[in-house]
Structure 1
Amino acid sequence: MSDYRIPLKYRKMENLHIVFWIFKDIGWCLIWKPMGILMIFPTLIISIIIAYRTRQMMAELCHNLAITLWILANSYWMSVEFLGLDATTAYQGVTFKHLALIPFLSGVACLAYYYLYWSRLHPDDLAD
């Protein structure tokens, strides 16, 4: 197993990603709709780029995909709250807010795949 070292330009992007994510959630918390909605895009785009750049390392890829799906679910949830649709029924008792479970559970599936399947076949490739 080799050490995973993050190049400085990637680390700067990851750190900026955290800033955008925090501002998105501040916008949500304070109901500053324009800021919350605007921050979805850089937060989600950077998380996709990070996942893409780590595609050669299964541990990193699975965790970064789970983060991307979490941001997607979180952003969707925020958006339906901003639109006043969070408690509205989408289909047979399932609200629009409940639909955020689709990307949340998809992220859980990525992690379950890694920990329950991949890591068992590749014990030397465990995430630290």
Structure 2
Amino acid sequence: MENMHIIFWLLKDLSWCMIWKVLGIAMIAPTLIIAIIIAWRTRDIKAELAHNLAIAFWISANSYWMISEFFHIDTIHIWNGFEGRHLAIIPFAIGALILAFYYLIQKPRESKQEAAMATL
């Protein structure tokens, strides 16, 4: 499944590069669905879950950005210097926050627990 995910992702980004709107948009669903399935399957392993959720949000941001360019909403002024493409910052930031939480809070907790278990 992970290998198929990469194929869909590459087709989506290649389509974006080549401005193949129909194929690019069609590749969003399988790419994102497989990313979500992979995250679900790794939900019991905190490190894997965090990284796979970040990937799903990255694909979401990337897909929105692609669509905004395809339909020329990427340069539409929204507010205070922000344009349509800048809305991709939201899912990018969510992915980054998930990873920050994992590395700054969850992983140190796990390390402390492992150290405590080792001393028993």
TM-score, L = length of structure 1: 0.85
Distance 2:65 2:14 in 1: 14
Structure 2 equivalent of residue 121 of structure 1: 109
Counterpart residue type for residue 117 of structure 1: I
Q: 1:64 aligns with which of 27, 52, 56?
A: 52
Q: 2:67 aligns with which of 62, 79, 92?
A: 79
Residues 49-92 of structure 1: CA distance to partner in whole angstroms, max 9, x if unpaired?
Answer: 00011111100000000000000000000000000010101223
Distance 2:36 2:7 in 1: 16
What is the CA distance between 1:93 and its match in structure 2? 2.2
**Is residue 40 of structure 2 the alignment partner of residue 52 of structure 1?**
yes
Distance 1:57 1:96 in 2: 36
Structure showing greater Rg: 2
What is the CA distance between 1:116 and its match in structure 2? 0.4
Structure 2 equivalent of residue 37 of structure 1: 25
**Is residue 7 of structure 2 the alignment partner of residue 19 of structure 1?**
yes
CA RMSD of aligned residues (A): 0.7
TM-score, L = length of structure 2: 0.91
Distance 1:90 1:115 in 2: 33
Counterpart residue type for residue 47 of structure 1: A
Identify unmatched segments of 5+ residues in structure 2: 115-120
Partner of 1:122: helix, strand, or coil? helix
Aligned positions, number: 112
Distance 2:26 2:84 in 1: 21
- Give runs of ≥4 in structure 1 deviating > 6 Å: none
**Is residue 100 of structure 2 the alignment partner of residue 112 of structure 1?**
yes
Counterpart residue type for residue 66 of structure 1: A
What is the CA distance between 1:119 and its match in structure 2? 0.6
Task: Answer 1 or 2: which has greater helix percent.
Answer: 2
Residues 87-125 of structure 1: CA distance to partner in whole angstroms, max 9, x if unpaired?
Answer: 10122321110110000011000100000000111114x
